Amino acid sequence: MRKKQIIRKILIKQFIMELTVIYDYSFLISSVLMSYPFYKLPILILEMNIIKPKKESLEAYIDFYKKNKFLGYNSKMFDKFVSLTRFQSGLDKVYCDWCGLINGINEMILYSIKDYIRSKKNIDKLLKKLYIPDYAIYTMRTMSIYCSPIQFFKKEIQTEINIIHKLISDNYNVRLDENKIEKIKLFIEWLYFGEYIERTWCPFKHMKNINYKRNYYYYNSHNIENLKLASNILIKEGKITCNNCIKILNKESRLRTDEESLFKEYASYIKKL
């Protein structure tokens, strides 16, 4: 299936699902409640629009993946970084799968940048050829009108930049000026922009009380079987983290759903590029 057909199929199905949600007053009311204090409502609406897959973003991430393949990643790495299994159904699954795609690809590219430098490949090629879609830049600028998420990750962003500097220094015996790695810095900022969205919305990340009931989370604290699984993780690991919890819960067939990800064909198309 061609790229345009895949994207069109996603957008049509998503639109149909959104129409059903419009008539769900409990969803709309709970969305407003989530914005309390209510001056945050415009930011919430903006974030929801960012989370929503659109033609521009769907096309952008195909180009993003394709144009940065010189970094050396492949379909096997894609499967290790991208997860489409954190929700069972509904628009939550659509948005969460899309979030998983964006953040997974971002993390894979950052890993590949570091690996590229460790392998002492052509550093000039990396600095010139690294591609960041206009969609990412536009999204960050639009969001900054209300609130710049990057401000919450200044320490983490600087830590990543310092790691890049050290890797370049260790492997090429040179210290580059900040302007030389401007593209890498911009990409890292975009990565943490996506991390901000995920931490705000993902129940596995922010662990906040949600104002409306959703029975289809993979982990349900009111389900005795789920609690037993969580207990086993605590006994074995001494703590519960997002990764090991999801890994174990996803192995349990009774927690799985037959509903296919809206992005299955999209992900397959990307992996074949």
> Could you tell me the two tokens for 177?
């000026």
More confident site: 127 or 80 = 127
> Could you tell me the two tokens for 74?
């492949």
Residue 117 and residue 168: Cα distance in Å, rounded?
A: 6
Q: What is the pLDDT of residue 215?
A: 39
- The domains of the chain are located at 3-216+257-271
Q: Compute the average pLDDT of residues 166-177.
A: 91
DSSP H/E element including 222 = none
Count of all residues that appear for the chain in the document: 273
Minimum mean pLDDT among 160-169, 212-221, 235-244: which range? 212-221
DSSP state of 109: H
Minimum mean pLDDT among 113-127, 174-188, 249-263: which range? 249-263
Is residue 207 scored above 90 in pLDDT? no
Q: What is the pLDDT of residue 59?
A: 95
Q: Please answer whether residues 263 and 101 qualify as being in contact, where contact means their C-beta atoms are separated by less than 8 angstroms.
A: yes
Give which of 196, 197, 164, 184 is closest to 68, Cα–Cα: 184
Say which residue the tokens 């397959």 belong to: 268
Give the pLDDT confidence of 19-61 residue by residue, as tens digits. 776 555 555 555 555 555 555 666 667 777 777 899 999 999 9
List 217's β-bridge partners, or say none. 87
> Could you tell me the two tokens for 87?
């929700």
Residue 238 phi/psi, 5-degree rounding, is 85, -10
Q: What is the pLDDT of residue 255?
A: 43
For residue 179, the SS3 value is: helix
Q: Compute the average pLDDT of residues 205-226.
A: 48
Residue 244 and residue 253: Cα distance in Å, rounded?
A: 16
Give which of 90, 43, 50 is closest to 213, Cα–Cα: 90
pTM, two decimal places: 0.77
Amino acid, res. 1:
M
Residue 10 and residue 57: Cα distance in Å, rounded?
A: 12
Is residue 248 scored above 50 in pLDDT? yes
Is residue 219 scored above 90 in pLDDT? no
Give the pLDDT confidence of 63-100 residue by residue, as tens digits. 999 999 999 999 989 988 887 766 667 777 788 888 88
Cis peptide before 203 (omega within 30 of 0): no
